[in-house]
Structure 1
């Protein structure tokens, strides 16, 4: 398997680890990129974007990164906070009056951002067409009562987080989250990052593949687990992941299509306090506020550590965003990693099309360890 791209001097080991992933961990197609202090130091890609047709992974291949999208929506909310249009400590119902229904009037914006809204799933059934309609899904959540199960007090809101955040953005700004990110971040920074992919870009998308253990059976008898039913992990899910309808839809929590190069550039900007190449998209104080810890604990259904700022995952050891103690960002389901190490002024992104249920997933972690070891110490 040929590795394409480049590494800056002293970062050659990262390319060796990237190539080794294909041999040791059965990587199919992938890309890894990193910036240090605003300059690219790693930009690698290789393998097959679509093994069924033999289409290779190219420099401009786009990849679905599932919950990697949550870091993008976090930045959108923080910009609105900076502009005085949202207050993290205010009840969400101040901006979205319908959200106060069923006893939710006291739930704050910060609690939504840090997975404490007690709305980890949608109670009412919904169709695939409704799943692709963020306003409809937000409306269902506005009517819903918060879960009474105490475990829901700090529980990952895999899908609902995006509909809640997206509706807050729409209520105070008028734009959907995809248009907001495009206008305020992707455009100014020159990012190939999409929340809602135009049809003319679909030919660049890698086919996402389900590895062993990724797809699960229907929810068991645990009511909380049943509440979090997720069409993205059923036996039919790969057809959904790779459908034109899903690619073009705005599914804020899980629907981003990106190049690793652009995601690394986005986080490189945040690692520098919100400025890159003379373009400032967030104030330094805003970035600090976004990664300030709001809650830390154990995810009740997974049994694994979880820590959140205002939408960003924070460090919980080395199994998420690498060895840097100040790491923040957001992982995507089954392998991808996207984040920043502010102390080292590093932004990085790993994107791949072979999902894996392994935890910890050594593919991104070995890359991040090699990247960290290559930095001046």
Structure 2
């Protein structure tokens, strides 16, 4: 396997693990990047971006990272909190009056950001075209009552998080989540990160592949599982993942296309308290607020430990963000991992095009373990 890129002295073991992923874990194409104290220490890529054509993974290949998008949307909300346009402890209906319908007047912004709004799915049927329209989907949620199943208070809001948070951004600022992130974070920091990919950039996107067990059967008879049905895991989902419509849409929870290098740079900025290369995008106090734990427990449908801050995932006993106990960030479905270790001032990102249902997924875990060992030396 031809691995390209570089590592700083002392980080060579990370490249060894990256190469081993292709030999031992059926990696197709991938990239891994990390910054320490604002300086790039790992920038690796390799494999195949598109198996049908044989197109290789290149330095500028973009990858869909599914829920890696949630960390980007969280940063947008936090910047609006910093500017006094949103308040985490205020009912969302103050900014979005229609949201008060059907018994939701008391649901706060913080509850939305920490998956506690009891709106983990959309009750009415919708098609893929509607799924790709955040304003339409937010409107459906505004008229919907919270789920009365007590489990819903801590069910991961896989898609609805983005429609809810994105509508709050639009209501108080006027811009969509994708436009807001582009203006306030991507452009100032020089990030190749997109929530809504322009057509002229589509040629750079890797084809996302479904590994065994990723596409799941219908959810059965459990009403809560039916409510949280995920079109991104349906039998025909790969066609949606790789469609031009999905790439250009701004789905705030699951629609980001990124290079690992740029996602690592984004989290490197957060690891330094919101500043990188003399550019400050968030105040340090805002980053601290964004890391404040809002809920910790067992996600009832996954039966798995989860800890949420204001849009970011926090470290749990599973160690999904590597060995650092202070880690925060967001994982993407079926493998990708993006986050920060504030104590070490490290930001990292792993992006790949072969999704995997294997649990635990050793690909990101082994990379983060090697990175942590190198940082500690």
Q: Tell which deviates more after alignment, 123-132 or 292-301.
A: 123-132
Match of 1:312 in 2: 312
- In structure 2, stretches of 5+ residues that fail to align are none
| Contact 2:315-2:325 at 8 Å conserved across structures | yes
| Contact 2:324-2:372 at 8 Å conserved across structures | yes
Distance between the aligned counterparts of 1:45 and 1:128, measured in 2? 32
Cα-to-partner distance string for 1:301-331 (whole Å, 9 max, x where unaligned): 1000000000000001253100000000000
3-state SS, counterpart of residue 296 of structure 2 = strand
| Contact 2:305-2:318 at 8 Å conserved across structures | no
RMSD after superposition:
0.6
Match of 1:131 in 2: 131
Cα-to-partner distance string for 1:19-69 (whole Å, 9 max, x where unaligned): 000000000000000000000000000000001110000000000000000
Cα-to-partner distance string for 1:318-374 (whole Å, 9 max, x where unaligned): 531000000000000000000000000000000000000011110000000000000
Distance between the aligned counterparts of 1:5 and 1:127, measured in 2? 41
Match of 2:273 in 1: 273
Distance between the aligned counterparts of 1:349 and 1:54, measured in 2? 24
Distance between the aligned counterparts of 1:115 and 1:164, measured in 2? 10
3-state SS, counterpart of residue 376 of structure 2 = coil
3-state SS, counterpart of residue 206 of structure 2 = coil
- In structure 1, stretches of 5+ residues that fail to align are none
| Contact 2:49-2:207 at 8 Å conserved across structures | yes
Distance between the aligned counterparts of 1:122 and 1:14, measured in 2? 42
Match of 2:329 in 1: 329
Instruction: Provide the aligned length of Structure 1 versus Structure 2.
Output: 377
| Contact 1:92-1:105 at 8 Å conserved across structures | yes
Question: Which stretches of structure 1, 4 residues or more, deviate above 3 A after TM superposition?
Answer: none
| Contact 1:17-1:366 at 8 Å conserved across structures | yes
Distance between the aligned counterparts of 1:221 and 1:301, measured in 2? 13
| Contact 1:269-1:276 at 8 Å conserved across structures | yes
3-state SS, counterpart of residue 330 of structure 1 = strand
Superposed displacement of residue 155, structure 1: 1.0
3-state SS, counterpart of residue 98 of structure 1 = helix
Cα-to-partner distance string for 1:253-274 (whole Å, 9 max, x where unaligned): 0000000000000000000000
Distance between the aligned counterparts of 1:254 and 1:375, measured in 2? 30
Match of 1:184 in 2: 184
- What does 1:289-368 correspond to in 2, within 5 Å? 289-368=289-368
3-state SS, counterpart of residue 331 of structure 2 = coil
Cα-to-partner distance string for 1:87-131 (whole Å, 9 max, x where unaligned): 000000000000000000000000000000000000001121111
Superposed displacement of residue 376, structure 1: 3.1
3-state SS, counterpart of residue 4 of structure 2 = strand
Distance between the aligned counterparts of 2:133 and 2:27, measured in 1? 33
Match of 1:145 in 2: 145
Superposed displacement of residue 198, structure 1: 0.3
Q: TM-score, normalised by structure 1?
A: 0.99
3-state SS, counterpart of residue 90 of structure 1 = coil
Distance between the aligned counterparts of 1:318 and 1:10, measured in 2? 27
| Contact 1:292-1:310 at 8 Å conserved across structures | yes
Match of 1:248 in 2: 248
Distance between the aligned counterparts of 1:231 and 1:73, measured in 2? 20
3-state SS, counterpart of residue 375 of structure 1 = helix
Distance between the aligned counterparts of 2:318 and 2:40, measured in 1? 23
Match of 1:175 in 2: 175
- What does 1:1-377 correspond to in 2, within 5 Å? 1-377=1-377
Distance between the aligned counterparts of 1:222 and 1:274, measured in 2? 42
Distance between the aligned counterparts of 1:89 and 1:320, measured in 2? 28
Q: TM-score, normalised by structure 2?
A: 0.99
Superposed displacement of residue 230, structure 1: 1.2
Distance between the aligned counterparts of 1:307 and 1:86, measured in 2? 22
3-state SS, counterpart of residue 60 of structure 1 = coil
